[in-house]
Structures are given as structure tokens and as C-alpha cells.
Amino acid sequence: MSGKLTKDQLEVIRQRSEKATEGPWRIGKQSPNGLNNIGTIGGLLTAQTKNEDDANFIANAHQDIPKLLDHITFLNEVISSCRCAECGHELGEGWATNSGVPFCNCCAGLNSL
């Protein structure tokens, strides 16, 4: 996986998330014969919902969550590569830019002369 999601991919995931209800959602065990038997050994674990948007959200969670985690990793790598053009310190609060070039608080004052 590339680690970066496109805007369209993020929007599809966002829409699925926004359409899903807040719940409550139920998980129960279902025996192979289709009967709900909470104590059945070897039964299927099922999520129960009557809402199609909730079902769509659940069905796509296995693919959406790893993509989102990879995207977060990618963004964290981008953030950690942002450094002051003058001293090389990592990105922090209160940074300034001069003609699109980032500077830390200390160096931003020096470069405004």
C-alpha cells in the first residue's frame, strides 16, 4: 500500500462513516444452522443491524481502517520531515513562513530583518 489516500478515497470513507448511525450495534453468535445461540461453540460471530448504511460501514471497516492507518503514517512522515530552513529543528508550534519557507520561532525573528 502506498500509504497516501486520495481525496476521493478519503471522501468515500468519510461518507460511509457519516451515514452510519451511532448505534447501539449488537454482536451475537449464530450457529451454523442460522439460529441465534449465544452459547454455541464454533458458531459464527455476526454484527446485527437493520440499517443498510451501518452494514456498509461495518463491511468496509476491514479495508478502510488499514488504509486510514497507512495514511496517518504517511502524514506523520511528512510532518517529521518538515524542518526549519535555518537551523533544522523539527516542526513545532508557532512556526512562521517567509515566501513559503518554514522557520522556527527563533530563526523566524532573525530572517525578518
Question: Which of 69 and 77 is assigned the larger pLDDT?
Answer: 69
Q: Both 71 and 96 in a single domain?
A: no
Distance between CA atoms of residues 108 and 85, nearest Å = 10
- Joined grid coordinates for residue 51: 440499517
Question: In the 8-state DSSP scheme, what is residue 37?
Answer: -
Domain with 92 in it: 83-113
Which of the four pLDDT bands, split at 50, 70 and 90, describes residue 40? very low
Distance between CA atoms of residues 67 and 80, nearest Å = 20
Q: Both 76 and 89 in a single domain?
A: no
pLDDT score of 86 more than 60: yes
Q: Both 88 and 62 in a single domain?
A: no
pLDDT at 97: 81
**How many domains does the chain contain in total?**
2
pLDDT at 15: 93
Global pTM reads 0.58
Q: Both 50 and 76 in a single domain?
A: yes
